Amino acid sequence: MQRIAIIGGGITGITSAYALVKRGFDVTVFEKHRYAAMETSFANGGQLSASNAEVWNHWPTVIKGLRWMLKNDAPLLVNPRPTWHKLSWFA
């Protein structure tokens, strides 16, 4: 069995490790933190966006998102059925 070392337990490292294990490789992940995804993967710290990134608790962004949901070619799709979990996410 081939052995592979992955340096970094962020979203990319852990996802790669998972995929490699599923394919039969012996994988070791080296991470300096106690838990995975505690640096750039944590709280969108390493977000890459095709155009721009916006803060979701900013009212103009929420209003823009609500307007988008009314369009057929909306870049944002959210099930409009209200739940407490969704409302707290927008707060």
Pair 89, 65 in one domain: yes
Pair 41, 60 in one domain: no
Pair 7, 39 in one domain: yes
Q: Is the pLDDT of residue 45 over 80?
A: no
pLDDT band at 4 (very low <50, low <70, confident <90, very high): very high
pLDDT band at 41 (very low <50, low <70, confident <90, very high): low
Which of 44, 34, 56 minimizes the C-alpha distance to 11? 44
* Helices vs. strands in the chain: H and E counts, helices first: 3, 2
Other beta carbons within 10 angstroms of residue 80's beta carbon come to 9
Among residues of the chain, what percentage have pLDDT more than 90?
Answer: 31
Most confident of 2-11, 30-39, 45-54: 2-11
Within a 13 Å sphere around the CA of 76, how many CA atoms are in the beta-carbon half? 14
* The CA-based dihedral angle spanning residues 59, 65, 71, 73, taken in that order and rounded to the nearest 10 degrees: 150
Pair 32, 62 in one domain: no
Pair 48, 60 in one domain: no
pLDDT, averaged across the chain: 82
Higher pLDDT, 69 or 23: 23
Q: Which domain holds residue 1?
A: 1-53
Pair 39, 66 in one domain: no
Pair 5, 48 in one domain: yes
pLDDT at 58: 79
